[in-house]
Chains A and B, each alone.
Chain A
């Protein structure tokens, strides 16, 4: 089996709102894929379509060679973890985890003893041993999340689908669970798709990231791919912070006003374009040929980073400049900026 899940030109409308407009994606066995996008981009709809909780208007989803339209929800064997976990409030942890196994038709159902063993093994796996008798209301957010995961894993799913798995947790728990999930995935090797609007989470966790915008996948690739080589201006702006400069390309150089700011271009055709530069790719330099003069207007601290806001004549928005190991300028100081790296997109 070469591909675990194939998504073929899926289209889906809600009333008059097109949620997905021709989405295709292949997911390899054992892969951890993130569906990343702003709210309303269709990422959750796509996840629910893979799960069979929504039906596509056009296109299909294959598991291996099997068209999922021929499968009932039970036959799909999906492990779905909901954003708010959807643990059964009236059942304790053990009953929640055993629910999928107990729902099987009698001849496929494991014995009572076996179910109990499976439940405690799963609780061991999600690092909550001994919590069988607790009720969901007695658990913390992170614990509920892990019980929900154990419940989904109990049915030995073909694919694990997680909807904003860390959305409802506070920052510290989020970080811990993220590392833990990565490690768990490494151990169990389930093909996993998760939805998130947090780019940091997607880039850190996933083998590959699929970035959605307005019902389309704009780019699929590894974290390095999408971060270093964004395919569209949207991705540039969505993944991390970025400065935007209107430029004109002439020959192999990009001009801001009549000043050349970036050279050595080859792939672009001439004409107006937008140059996207990340704060860490702006350097404060002494005199060089390709430099942008400006005035430091503000200095602030962003966690470990110090950052200068530099006003450039002819640009409304101040440029963000990371001051990694550079000597901090003073407010009001005139500086020159060199662009170490940028992404150029022809103006629409």
Chain B
């Protein structure tokens, strides 16, 4: 569900700059704007509205019951837990990777940059399958894990691994171009002034990129909570135990509990909307800073 919010913004971008006079006739402008608006309404806004309408179709009590039912609560809790672990992890590793790529020259740098993008180019289902192949009962490390009574696949660690994998690029990809454009002069200045490397990082490097970092974290979090494919493979879909919100929604829907499915879905859609609003606010307030960090 939250995936649907990503194209919304990219589709809205050309609309924003269409106000500028470029010599096109008024008719062309109106047609273009009408097409864009019609597309947005039909394909993006309508489904979103449907979610909320369907969720509320049976009234407030049914809605409340659907999202406070034990399995739903367990799914919400699990989703929050997975995101709470995967997002901070990706922040730390993403900053480290971006730092290494932006500030140092080393062999294999280009390979590292391509590797960071890997999760974006691989289908999430395959990402999930890889973890099953590695850590599942029949997998490479399966026997060893069983011998030590460790469970990864069909358990929380598997969900976290899959989510970390799928959401890794968000933070690093926002930070790398921004850090590269900043160069190292600020850090060198701080070092010559006698600052320790930690102080340089926390009082110079991090504040310089805080808005692109926040932006990356926002996207990372939205995806972590909304991820379906990779998580579906490693979860095993054990109700109340390894079901995250997207998986719970799918199960409800398959069992013809449409209203309940949409009720839970409305929570994810709400998250997506909050993300979108924050993102728009950020772009509006710190657009120049973030624009410097964009290349895609």
| A contacts, CB < 8 Å to B | 51-53, 73-74, 76-80, 82, 84, 86-91, 99-100, 103-104, 151-152, 154-155
Q: Tell which of B188, B194, B199, B210 touches A86, judged by Cβ atoms closer than 8 Å.
A: B188
Which chain A residue lies CB-closest to B289? A89
B183-219: CB near A (< 8 Å → 1, else 0) gives 0011011111111100100011001101000000000
CB-defined A-B contacts under 8 Å, sample of 23: A52-B192, A53-B191, A53-B192, A73-B191, A73-B194, A74-B195, A76-B192, A80-B192, A82-B185, A82-B188, A86-B188, A86-B189, A87-B189, A88-B190, A88-B204, A90-B208, A99-B203, A100-B193, A100-B195, A103-B193, A103-B194, A151-B193, A155-B194
CB distance from A55 to the nearest CB of B (A): 14
B167-189: CB near A (< 8 Å → 1, else 0) gives 00000000000000000011011
Is B189 in contact with A82, judged by CB distance below 8 angstroms?
A: yes
The answer to whether residues A99 and B188 also contact, given A88-B204, A89-B208, A90-B207 and a CB cut-off of 8 A, is no
Which chain B residue lies CB-closest to A100? B193
| B contacts, CB < 8 Å to A | 185-186, 188-196, 199, 203-204, 207-208, 210
Within 8 Å CB of B203, what residues of A? Answer: 88, 99
Q: A90 CA to B202 CA in the complex, in Å?
A: 12
Is A99 in contact with B190, judged by CB distance below 8 angstroms?
A: yes
Within 8 Å CB of A51, what residues of B? Answer: 192
Which chain B residue lies CB-closest to A77? B194
The answer to whether residues A78 and B208 also contact, given A86-B185, A103-B199 and a CB cut-off of 8 A, is no
CB distance from A305 to the nearest CB of B (A): 39
Q: A80 CA to B191 CA in the complex, in Å?
A: 10
Which chain A residue lies CB-closest to B190? A99
The answer to whether residues A84 and B185 also contact, given A89-B208, A90-B207, A90-B208 and a CB cut-off of 8 A, is yes
Q: A79 CA to B193 CA in the complex, in Å?
A: 7
Q: A154 CA to B195 CA in the complex, in Å?
A: 13
Is B195 in contact with A86, judged by CB distance below 8 angstroms?
A: no
Which chain A residue lies CB-closest to B209? A90
CB distance from B161 to the nearest CB of A (A): 35
CB distance from A87 to the nearest CB of B (A): 8
Q: A104 CA to B203 CA in the complex, in Å?
A: 14
CB distance from B8 to the nearest CB of A (A): 31
Within 8 Å CB of A155, what residues of B? Answer: 193-194
CB distance from A249 to the nearest CB of B (A): 51
Q: A154 CA to B183 CA in the complex, in Å?
A: 24
Q: A52 CA to B193 CA in the complex, in Å?
A: 12
Within 8 Å CB of A78, what residues of B? Answer: 192
Within 8 Å CB of B195, what residues of A? Answer: 74, 99-100, 103
- In the complex, given contacts A86-B186, A152-B192, what are 13 additional A-B residue pairs having Cβ atoms less than 8 angstroms apart? A52-B192, A53-B191, A73-B192, A74-B194, A74-B195, A78-B192, A80-B192, A86-B185, A88-B204, A88-B208, A99-B190, A100-B195, A151-B193
Is B194 in contact with A104, judged by CB distance below 8 angstroms?
A: yes
